[in-house]
Amino acid sequence: KLLYIDINSLSKGLQSNTNRMAQFQEVMRQQLESSMYAELEKLVSTAKGAEAEVSKKDFEGFRKLFHRFLQVKGPSVEWSKINRPPEDSIQPYDKIKAKGLPDNIADSLNKLVVVKLNGGLGTSMGCKGPKSLISVRNENTFLDLTVQQIEHLNKTYNADVPLVLMNSFNTDEDTKKILQKYRHHRVKIHTFNQSRYPRINKESLLPVAKDMAMTGENADVWYPPGHGDIYASFYNSGLLEQLIAEGKEYIFVSNIDNLGATVDLYILNHLVSQPNGKRCEFIMEVTDKTRADVKGGTLIQYDGKLRLLEIAQVPKAHVDEFKSVTKFKIFNTNNLWISLSAIKRLQEQNAMDMEIIANPKTLDGGLNVIQLETAVGAAIKCFENALGINVPRSRFLPVKTTSDLLLVMSNLYSLEAGCLTMSERREFPSTPHVKLGSSFTKVQEYLTRFESIPDMLELDHLTVSGDVTFGKHVSLKGTVIIIANHGDRIDIPAGSMLENKIVSGNLRILDH
């Protein structure tokens, strides 16, 4: 007997199955969304007065994000459509600098606002409270150095550059207390708060929070949703409108823990000197990738637009290619120059489109949750005439760990008017590679292990592991590796000079 199959019928059957599946998924999505919205309504109903108004605005943004999160399937880029950016879309810094500076620098500066992302806590370095309040150099905190830099600009050029801090609910109260001490400095300081979003239970896809409280069992159910939230929260705060009314045109945005992110007059001049029709609405400072920067976002050309590509968006099969230093040569420093009027326009047109980062976390009790976040640089594709500028590495000096802290506290850098510059006595411009072990992770413990910060002018590489302490006036040169095995302790004697040395075993210096 012949088995006869009607291909048309089979094809129609498969098609109808696919349609049914799509319909089923759509119904599920709608149910999830309406359940989420009902929960958000319940949460807002537990807020009082002004908090209720703020929460309503926050949740509007969260709803949009959640809606898009349910729509998105898989990585948000098609690898085959990725192209290298056109030559003129990433300019070398030297070309920008060659244009020189105008006679009246104050005119340019008076159009500028400096915005620092100040939402982070110092927990990764074992500190409580805002990271910006950690002492990094001569007892100056990140915030002190920022204020000193801007005050120096305002005094030198008789300008009025304000400082704006984007705080989170974690940092707002402590930061505002500290701001009292800058009252007599020549810097106007404003703050606004990032949104507060509910963490989502990974299984039910509903908020973990039961009410709007932030203490007790609700202590870890909220989160600030990444720095991509700057556009909405800045706009919602009313501060954006106020600054435009004062004649401000651009913001310079950077992480408060990037000590290289100072106001650059050449980039500012490039921005304000563009003819009106060609006004550049967004500049991203990028710098050359080293093997230490393999995870940093990079610029690509995609659908005819300049776009930020983050590691989270890369299909698994292409992650190694993304990390290669040969294909993607630059990475985003998160130093950004953005037009205020363009932010206002995009917010009002609801046209700010940033890829969603679904960040999985596990709470202390073991509950798996998801945080929906966005990155500020991801909005580059929404702005007109966006540009990358390949800046020197010195403009990227983040302090994320105590290893970074050791570099900025050392004689590799000199400090003037809040700015750190590489010492002229160092013969090569790159910073040494420093890896401090787990005994140095927390700032307090790190500080007890150094009687004074070693001389590191001629250091290339330092690895320290285990229970190690340094006496006063130690000098480190070339490659130095110090390893105290478990149960051993190594005290590097005061005045020691270690050059291309490996030290291991046990070395105790006893006071007599």
Cα(239)–Cα(318) distance, integer angstroms = 42
Q: If DSSP codes are grouped into helix, strand and coil, which group holds residue 365?
A: coil
> Strand 282-288 and strand 387-390: pairing?
parallel
Q: Exposed (0-12), middle (13-18) or buried (19+): which is 84, by Cβ within 10 Å?
A: middle
12 annotated binding-site participant? no
Which DSSP state fits 83? B
56 is catalytic: no
Cα(182)–Cα(148) distance, integer angstroms = 10
Which parts of 158-220 fold into alpha helices (H)? Answer: 172-179
Cα(101)–Cα(92) distance, integer angstroms = 17
Q: Exposed (0-12), middle (13-18) or buried (19+): which is 38, by Cβ within 10 Å?
A: exposed
Cα(377)–Cα(301) distance, integer angstroms = 14
Is there a contact between 117 and 193 (Cβ–Cβ < 8 Å)?
no
Which residue in 188, 344, 400, 501 is the catalytic one? 400
Residue type, 462: L
400 annotated binding-site participant? yes
Write the CA distances from 239 to 58, 191, 252, 272, 307, integer angstroms: 16, 9, 15, 22, 27
226 annotated binding-site participant? yes
Is there a contact between 126 and 444 (Cβ–Cβ < 8 Å)?
yes
Cα(21)–Cα(274) distance, integer angstroms = 52
257 annotated binding-site participant? yes
Among 153, 115, 117, residue whose Cα is nearest residue 248: 115
Q: φ and ψ at 334, to 5 degrees?
A: 65, 25
Q: Would you name the residues annotated as active-site residues?
A: 400
Residues making up the annotated binding site for UTP are 131, 194, 226, 257, 400
Residues making up the annotated binding site are 131, 194, 226-227, 257, 400
Residues making up the annotated binding site for substrate are 227
